[in-house]
Amino acid sequence: MRIVITGGAGFIGSHLVDHYIVQGVDVVVIDNLITGREENISKHQDNRRFTFMNEDVCNVETIDGTIDAILHFACPASPFDYLKYPIETLQVMSVGTHRMLDIARSKNAKFFLASTSEVYGDPDVHPQQEEYFGNVNVLSPRAVYDEGKRFAETVTVAYHRKYDTNIGIIRIFNTYGERMRPADGRVIPTFISEALANRPLPIFGDGSQTRSFCYIEDMVQGIAKAVEIDYPLPVNLGNPAEHTVLQVADLIRRLCKSTSDLHYMPLPDSDPKKRKPDITRAQNVLKWQPSISLEQGLVKVITWFKERRKDD
């Protein structure tokens, strides 16, 4: 088996690379390192089953050799990153998705899209099921990501309808784990790096907004199951255990034995107030559900962050 992972030098993509290399699969990574890091994949560089193409997917017209599946994960994913790279985000989701679909079609390969819970926007149904159409303000700054992903889903489904391309779409909810960048702006790496330095943790709004966090090992298992099956409808992947941002801050302060205060700041535009996946479809179709609690996952990630701080 030979697969392409776009965005394979990023957080989730590089964990998928590790997973497939261990499974004996040949892996081609396409990544322009806009938000990813070469060190995430450097341990594979001498493996003859591993190929790294340092390119923007928007410019890739062909990939040599046979391909069984393209896993399209390339896209800035943290709000900090996609607000810094708004046009690049829209391009990778539009031009980039289109290019990868064309290559998948020409190679008779499966096309698998990493979509997001952000397609539901600031949801007015809770928890979010796949049938929910979402509540996205197309003019908000965040829309570059939300609408980019919505377009990517639509063009993927259009290829399935018109050309019978074998597709899969997952809607990933907040995922955390080793290899997240401390300064990528997402809540868990931010809280851990500030807590370890005993600096104040930034809380947007009053901290009562909720999020559901899935540990990377659970997510990789869910993605691998979704890649295996033929199922063209979107599937939510995430951990339904819901926590307020304040609860997460308290847990991280406790696990880091930190003396950090909380620093309250205004809520950003269109920040979702609630986020929790309904994973009934994933349970039924993939026979998957997460098994690692937030506390168990955080203990591992905090250990990794501590090791990194020693190295820096």
Q: Give the active site residues.
A: 145
User: Which structure tokens are listed for 228?
Assistant: 């295996």
Provide the mask over 80-119, with x wherever binding to ligand NAD is found by CB under 6 A and - wherever it is not.
Answer: -x----------x---x-----------------x-x---
Q: How many CA atoms, within 13 angstroms, populate the side-chain half-sphere of residue 188?
A: 25
- Please name every residue paired with 209 in a beta bridge, in sequence order, or none if there are none: none
Q: How many residues bind ligand NAD (CB under 6 A)?
A: 30
| Residue 119 CB, nearest approach to ligand NAD (Å) | 10
Is position 63 an interface residue for ligand NAD (rule: CB under 6 A)? no
Is position 226 an interface residue for ligand NAD (rule: CB under 6 A)? no
| Stretch of residues binding ligand NAD (CB under 6 A), selected from 27-35, 103-111, 197-205, 299-307 | 27-35
| Residue 288 CB, nearest approach to ligand NAD (Å) | 16
Query: In angstroms, how far apart are the furthest CA atoms of the chain?
Result: 58
Q: Do 38 and 84 meet the contact criterion of CB atoms below 8 Å apart?
A: no
How far is Cα 102 from Cα 99, in angstroms, rounded to an integer?
5
| Residue 125 CB, nearest approach to ligand NAD (Å) | 19
| Residue 190 CB, nearest approach to ligand NAD (Å) | 13
| Stretch of residues binding ligand NAD (CB under 6 A), selected from 7-15, 41-49, 278-286, 303-311 | 7-15
How far is Cα 30 from Cα 144, in angstroms, rounded to an integer?
22
Q: What are phi and psi of 203, to 5 degrees?
A: -115, 120
Which residues contact residue 254 at a Cβ distance below 8 angstroms, ignoring those fewer than 6 apart? none
Is position 174 an interface residue for ligand NAD (rule: CB under 6 A)? yes
Contact positions with ligand NAD (CB under 6 A) in 114-153: 114, 116
| Stretch of residues binding ligand NAD (CB under 6 A), selected from 75-83, 104-112, 247-255, 290-298 | 75-83
The SS3 call for residue 251 is helix
E strands present in the chain? 2-6, 26-30, 50-53, 69-72, 110-116, 167-172, 175-176, 201-204, 210-212, 214-215, 234-237, 242-244, 262-265
**Interface with ligand NAD (CB under 6 A):** 6-7, 9-13, 30-36, 56-58, 73-77, 81, 92, 96, 114, 116, 172, 174-175
